[in-house]
Amino acid sequence: MDARHAIPSPSASQAAMSESNRSHILDYLFRHGVSSRAEIAQVLALTPAAITKITARLIDAGIIRETGDIEGRKKRRSIGLSLANDTIHVIGVKFARSIVQIAVFDLAGTQLSLQTLPPVTERTIRTTLDQIRTGIQHLLDEDRHIIAVGMAVPGPYLRDVGRTAVVSSMEGWRKVNFLHEFAQRFRVPVFVEQDARAGALAHYLFDRTNTCEYLAYYLIGEGLGLGVIEHGRLIDGALGAATEIGHVSIDVHGRPCECGNVGCLERYCSAVAIHQEILTRGLVAGADTMNHEEACLALFAAADDGDRKAQELVQEVGRYVGYGCVTIFNMFNPRRIVIGDIVSQAGPRLLRAVREVVNERAIPELNDATAISLSELSTDSAVSGGTAIAITHFLEHPSTFFDVPS
């Protein structure tokens, strides 16, 4: 028989079913907090006996714990269950051209530590990789509760190959194969995802105000990226390079881009592009000695202080960001677009310019049905996104991380 059409053995089918049930229970506790066995059984359509058996093994594995009495159905007292958030930790790593950060979070998404490495240049990429390995190993040595590492890297990220196809303004990163560099280096598994998709996961998991299954995270930092969640799942594409809005052309006769196209959106509203405009227009004193984020923040501060020329550039940038939002409307039709990273720190002034463009150019029905906001996560979305990648894998495949009998 062709192995591709082989019938799974009963033991394999049972193991897959057990893992699926564990995953559903963990996902429910992650999203709803302390819950009773009876509540979980009812929601997941499992028998009380099955829930008792599965949760007992999850408790023995140290993944969940009993929390004491809670009020259950019909005012009856029940024993609550919760995830062991404080004893399950993950590392999140953000790669953003010149910026690399390493953080530790607990399972609830609470940041426990954050380290920013020295600024990266083309000449120091290899040194930075060594620093990352050393930093992660130190954290693993110090914290036995860490179960995984999640990395958020610039896109378009070729997931099966392990490298990024284009990194505008710092092409040296294209030579880095993240899987070869990190996948087998540590005692815990390492997961790698495009930074904007990681950011979308962070908002989906950690933004407790979010109830949206159709979410787009619009990353505007040193590069531009987009992560889209539909029905609670990321849109990846065949190679893992879907939703690359930064390389959508908004001007067929526009500025050349290192991807080979012209007029790419990120050539007009990324932090790199804004920094160049600041220098060209002479808007910020000392901008030539600043990094991209510092120059952008200085521009935004000048605009808030009433500098008319600074306000004009922020307005211009906001309009370009708005063109991207219209494209997101038409291509993906999300319910919510969250704008994050460096450029989102321009604040309400930027958002007003974005909405002006959307009101002018978007299909009215799509405009009426889509909320646009600035990210309110307490931690950088790509850093927490690296964490979200690892946590998602944990929730979906807990036996990969813990010894849980079927």
The answer, yes or no, to whether residue 3 has pLDDT greater than 50, is no
CATH topology of domain 211-376: Nucleotidyltransferase; domain 5 (3.30.420)
pLDDT bin (cut points 50, 70, 90) of residue 1 is: very low
d(C-alpha 336, C-alpha 358), whole Å: 13
Torsion, Cα of 23, 162, 240, 229 (10° steps):
40
Write down the pLDDT at residue 12: 64
Residue 43 reports pLDDT greater than 70: yes
Residue type (1 letter), 291: N
Per-residue pLDDT at 335 exceeds 80: yes
The domain ranges of the chain are 10-83, 88-201+383-400, 211-376
Whole-number pLDDT of residue 4: 45
| Average pLDDT over every residue of 386-394 | 95
Inter-residue contact 322 to 355 (CB < 8 Å): yes
- Given a cut of 70, whether residue 7 has pLDDT beyond it is no
Q: What is the pLDDT of residue 5?
A: 47
pLDDT of residue 101: 95
pLDDT-based confidence at residue 68 (cuts at 50, 70, 90):
confident
Are both 10-83 and 211-376 of the same fold?
no
What's the mean pLDDT in 45-49? Answer: 93
CA 269/CA 187 separation, integer angstroms: 40
CATH number of the domain located at residue range(s) 10-83 in this protein: 1.10.10.10
Distances in Å between the Cα of 269 and the Cα atoms of 220, 222, 365 are 8, 9, 27
Looking at residue 74, its pLDDT comes to: 59
CATH of 88-201+383-400, one of 1.10.10.10, 3.30.930.10, 3.30.420.40, 3.40.190.10: 3.30.420.40
Backbone dihedral region for residue 233 (phi beyond 0: left; psi -120 to 50: alpha; all else: beta) = beta
| Cα–Cα distance for residue pair 283/287, rounded to 1 Å | 8
Please write the tens of the pLDDT for every residue from 225-284.
Answer: 999 999 889 999 999 889 999 999 999 999 999 889 999 999 999 999 999 999 999 999
Whether the ω angle into residue 156 lies within 30 degrees of 0, i.e. cis, is: yes
